[in-house]
Amino acid sequence: MLRTLSLLVAGAALLSACASAGPSSGPSSGPSSGPGVDPAAARGEAFAVRRCSGCHAVGLDGSPAANGPPFWQLQRRYNALSLQKRFAEISQHGSGEMPPIEITRSEAEDLVAYFATLGR
């Protein structure tokens, strides 16, 4: 449990550190295309591309971003509740190398919805 929490903290820390970086690649192969797209997941993907892709591969396709773990790996490690809590912590305090980054409750919910699409 402690190891899992440590990994979550490290992953979340990297998310926040990259918040001000621009996208490192084009659009991901996430939920932004096709019929029946969950609007929350699409908003979460847009947030991830805008705020996280400087350090993370935010989609399922490859990305040169190597500073942080790819989102698809984080999706496999953490459940929705732990992600939601971690995003709140990052918003208030940052973590490790990641400075605080404002993530509203609705943005965190959208990110969680996007993360869920990466497991499909």
Sequence-distant (≥ 6) Cβ neighbours of residue 81 within 8 angstroms: none
- Asked whether residue 27 carries a pLDDT value surpassing 70, the answer given is no
Mean pLDDT, rounded, for 27-41:
68
The CATH code that applies to domain 7-21+38-117 is 1.10.760.10
| Tokens, residue 29 | 């192969």
Looking at residue 83, what is its pLDDT?
A: 92
Residue closest to 49 by CA, chosen among 40, 58, 60, 41: 58
Residue closest to 85 by CA, chosen among 2, 5, 21: 5
Looking at residue 16, what is its pLDDT?
A: 43
Looking at residue 80, what is its pLDDT?
A: 93
Instruction: Render pLDDT for 36-47 as a digit per residue (tens, 0 to 9).
Output: 789 999 999 999
- Asked whether residue 64 carries a pLDDT value surpassing 60, the answer given is yes
